[in-house]
């Protein structure tokens, strides 16, 4: 496998970097997603993984996102193995998920999860550790939901994660901003976390802009601006709305299959996306429009994109190279958004 070891290459892309809130990290505008939805780092071959990851590194991507839950740990194992083969040491973010029974020994459960991630990734120190459970008004561990109290109370998740950070086991701590909007905001305003992952895309930009009269999707209450004002780093997730903002409805051969509920949600979002296809620049794709839309928001520090193959990487990098959408196009998109939803 020595043929995959990183070699300097003339003319390699230099991707723009952004400051990731108060974490101290300077990160590429595109983050490489290693999840089961994309599937490369779960079901791809060793050759495919090395080729695509190696190309991403050469072209300036310096942050990779994984989790113990992606492929039952296979994503972490394969990412650690690939980076060792390539002789590379980029920024890695991984996660903890609180399962039924973990609250009986919360610190032990988190520490054990972190230790297993260290072993799989072959890292003594984890750059970024997220709480991946959703945030709600009430605990529902079967549904992967923690209450705000579970996170913020003395001895809660935030205390344990801060302890790992103070001991140098973790560089920065964050959480995934999915769940109940007011509860997510409570966690942000507690100032316990350095960064968070925020849902934001062309068909639901409510984490940045106010919603309108007939809005029926979740309203994320402009939480990105509220986090950014506190110097909390912002990672944009679901920027392609689980594939609804891509060109094709077909799943990649590596991708995890949708549940029937998820499939219905994606199909409904694809209908919403059709209203914005007129704004795709000539010669570009819906995917590139959606990525450039997310990259146009200066309060988002990096956009997380699930990568299944080289063509997905090429498209993400092309979007970053093209830069933010033109002001006129953004204004047209905003006007179309109001036109669709202002009439109750």
Q: Which residue has the tokens 């996102």?
A: 65
Task: Render pLDDT for 209-234 as a digit per residue (tens, 0 to 9).
Answer: 998 878 889 999 999 999 999 999 99
pLDDT score for 256: 66
- Residue with the larger pLDDT of the pair 12 and 267: 267
What pTM did the predictor assign? 0.93
pLDDT score for 37: 83
Task: Render pLDDT for 76-105 as a digit per residue (tens, 0 to 9).
Answer: 999 999 999 999 999 999 999 999 889 999
Instruction: List, in sequence order, the alpha helices (H) in 154-274.
Output: 157-166, 181-189, 223-228, 260-274
pLDDT score for 275: 93
Q: Which domains does the chain have, with CATH numbers?
A: 16-341 (3.20.20.100)
Mean pLDDT on 112-119? 98
What are the backbone angles phi and psi of residue 142, rounded to the nearest 5°?
A: -65, -30
- Split at pLDDT 50, 70, 90, the class of 146 is very high
Mean pLDDT across the chain, nearest whole number? 91
Residue 79 contacts residue 34 (beta carbons within 8 Å): yes
For 96-102, which contacts have Cβ atoms below 8 Å and span 24 or more sequence positions? Answer: 96/68, 96/129, 96/130, 96/131, 96/132, 96/133, 96/161, 97/67, 97/68, 97/69, 97/132, 97/133, 97/144, 98/131, 98/133, 98/141, 98/144, 98/146, 98/150, 98/157, 99/141, 100/141, 100/142, 102/141
């Amino acid at each position: 496998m020595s043929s995959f070891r990183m070699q300097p290459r003339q003319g390699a892309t230099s991707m723009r970097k952004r400051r990731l809130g108060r974490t101290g990290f300077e990160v590429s505008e595109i983050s490489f997603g290693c999840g089961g939805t994309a599937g490369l780092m779960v079901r791809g071959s060793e050759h495919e993984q090395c080729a695509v990851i190696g190309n991403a590194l050469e072209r300036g991507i310096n942050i990779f996102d994984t989790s113990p839950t992606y492929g039952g740990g296979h994503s972490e194992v394969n990412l650690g193995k690939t980076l060792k083969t390539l002789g590379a040491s980029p920024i890695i973010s991984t996660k903890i998920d609180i399962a039924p029974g973990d609250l009986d020994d919360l610190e032990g459960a988190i520490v054990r999860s972190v230790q297993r991630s260290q072993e799989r990734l072959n890292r003594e120190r984890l750059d970024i550790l997220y709480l991946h459970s959703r945030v709600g008004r009430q605990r529902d561990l079967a549904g992967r939901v923690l209450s705000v109290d579970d996170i913020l109370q003395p001895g809660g998740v935030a205390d344990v994660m801060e302890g790992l950070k103070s001991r140098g086991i973790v560089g920065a701590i964050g959480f995934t901003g999915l769940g109940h909007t007011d509860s997510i905001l409570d966690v942000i305003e507690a100032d316990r976390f350095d960064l968070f992952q925020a849902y934001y895309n062309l068909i639901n930009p409510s984490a940045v802009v106010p919603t309108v009269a007939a809005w029926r999707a979740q309203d994320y209450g402009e939480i990105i601006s509220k986090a950014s004002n506190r110097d909390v780093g912002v990672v944009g997730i679901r920027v392609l709305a689980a594939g609804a903002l891509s060109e094709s409805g077909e799943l990649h051969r590596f991708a995890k299959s949708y549940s029937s509920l998820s499939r219905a949600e994606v199909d409904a979002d694809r209908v919403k996306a059709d209203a914005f296809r007129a704004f795709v620049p000539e010669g570009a794709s819906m995917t590139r429009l959606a990525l450039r839309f997310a990259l146009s928001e200066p309060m988002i520090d990096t956009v997380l994109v699930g990568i299944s193959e080289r063509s997905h990487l090429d498209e993400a990098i092309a979007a970053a190279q093209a830069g933010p959408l033109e002001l006129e196009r953004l204004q047209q998109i905003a006007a179309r958004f109001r036109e669709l939803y202002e009439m109750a």
